[in-house]
Amino acid sequence: MRKDELLGALPASFRYAAALVSAMLVSSLPMPILSQGIQLVVVDVHEVTEGHRASKMIGSSVVNDQNEKIGTIEDIVIGKDKVLFAVLQVGGFLHIGGRMVAVPFQSLVLDENGAKIKLPGATQEALKKLPEFKYAG
How do residues 18-70 score in pLDDT, each as one tens digit? 665 555 555 556 666 666 777 888 888 988 888 888 898 999 999 999 999 99
Please state, in angstroms and rounded to a whole number, the distance separating the CA atoms of residues 113 and 124: 24
**When comparing pLDDT for 79 and 12, which is higher?**
79
Which of 71-80, 84-93, 114-123 is most confident? Answer: 71-80
**What is the amino acid identity at position 130?**
L
Q: Residues 108, 135, 111, CA angle at the centre, nearest 5°? A: 15
Task: Identify the CATH class of 53-128.
Answer: mainly beta
Tens of pLDDT along 45-58?
Answer: 988 888 888 898 99
Q: What is the largest CA-CA distance in the chain?
A: 96
Q: Which of 83, 88, 54 is nearest to 72 (CA)?
A: 88
SS3 of residue 42 by DSSP: coil
What mean pLDDT do residues 97-115 have?
Answer: 88
pLDDT at 30: 66
Does pLDDT of 9 surpass 60?
A: no
- 17: number of CA atoms within 13 Å, CB side? 5
Residue 84 near residue 73 (C-beta atoms within 8 A): no
pLDDT at 21: 56
